[in-house]
Amino acid sequence: MLNKYARAFFTRVLTPFAAFLIRRGVSPDTVTLIGTAGVVAGALVFYPRGEFFWGTVVITLFVFSDLVDGNMARQLGRSSRWGAFLDSTLDRVADGAIFGGFALWYAGRGDDTVLCAVAIFCLASGQVVSYTKARGESIGLPVAVNGLVERAERLVLSLVAAGFAGLHKFGVPGIQHLLPVALWIVAVGSLVTLIQRVVTVRRESAEAEAAEGRPEQGSGAAK
């Protein structure tokens, strides 16, 4: 939903900055790489120590590079398969660091095994949700569903909650509970999204095979 409705707004806001970087001779790949490095550093330096406010500030400074790199590539007329591969692959690295950072906190000083497991579930299910689309498309299916919780939702929910939860260290009472709530929402939402995508791929592959005149695998007709 955010990808659909918020992207146009951020494209307008970030286009002048993308044009500025192009004029300075910066390449889209450089932005992709530096953006990912910043997110990974912010997540793995601050989150495992429970510094959620400063971690989120650093991550937020870098995470928008994921919208700037594609914008630059399009302005340059240089959108490439390599760029698409690099962008998506490094998205997975950044997401791993963010949810890994939460898991490390709960495994250590945060001392909460259940929330550690929820954070690991968010990490793994987010990666699998993205994989379903990539694999479905690689076998020639449209995978015409995005689902309830895409990457933008996973990031916005977790980062906004972490940023506010971090204010607990500055004396705001009770606010630290926002992060567990967000992690549970992302976990359940990712599971729903995974089911939505798997069901869609199952239907699309059956339709494709029926259109090719091949019996559906596992239906018994192939025996």
Ligand X SMILES: Nc1ccn([C@@H]2O[C@H](COP(=O)(O)O)[C@@H](O)[C@H]2O)c(=O)n1
Ligand Y SMILES: CCCCCCCC/C=C\CCCCCCCC(=O)OC[C@H](COP(=O)(O)O[C@@H]1[C@H](O)[C@H](OP(=O)(O)O)[C@@H](O)[C@H](O)[C@H]1O)OC(=O)CCCCCCC/C=C\CCCCCCCC
Q: Which helix (H) or strand (E) holds 11?
A: helix 2-23
Exactly one of 29, 51, 150, 204 binds ligand Y (CB under 6 A); which one?
150
- CA distances to 46, 80, 103 from 41, rounded to whole Å, are 8, 27, 15
User: Which residues 21-60 are close enough to bind ligand Y by CB under 6 A?
Assistant: 56, 60
Extract the annotated binding site: 29-32, 66, 69-70, 74, 80, 87, 91
Which residues make up the interface to Mg ion (CB under 5 A)?
66, 69-70, 87, 91
**Nearer CB in complex with ligand X: 26/192:** 26
91 labelled catalytic: yes
111, two tokens:
């001392």
Q: Taking a C-beta distance cutoff of 8 angstroms, is the pair 133, 197 a contact? A: yes
DSSP secondary structure string for all residues of 208-223:
HHHHTTPPPTTSSTT-
Backbone torsions φ then ψ of 33, nearest 5 degrees: -70, -45
Least separation in angstroms between residue 4's CB and ligand X is: 13
**Nearer CB in complex with ligand X: 39/67:** 67
Scanning 27-35, 49-57, 121-129, 212-220 for contacts with ligand X by CB under 6 A, the matching segment is 27-35
Scanning 28-36, 125-133, 172-180, 206-214 for contacts with ligand X by CB under 6 A, the matching segment is 28-36
Task: Choose, from 91, 95, 111, 112, the residue flagged as catalytic.
Answer: 91
Site track 59-88 with ligand X (rule: CB under 6 A), x = hit = -------xx-xxx-x-----xx--xx-xx-
Least separation in angstroms between residue 168's CB and ligand Y is: 11
- Residue 115 interacting with ligand Y (CB under 6 A): no
96, two tokens:
């791993």
Q: Which residue in the shown chain puts its C-beta closest to ligand Y?
A: 163
Q: What angle do CA 40, 104, 174 make, to 5 degrees?
A: 100
Residue type, 191: L
In three-state secondary structure terms, 79 is coil
Q: Taking a C-beta distance cutoff of 8 angstroms, is the pair 197, 143 a contact? A: yes
The catalytic residue positions are: 91
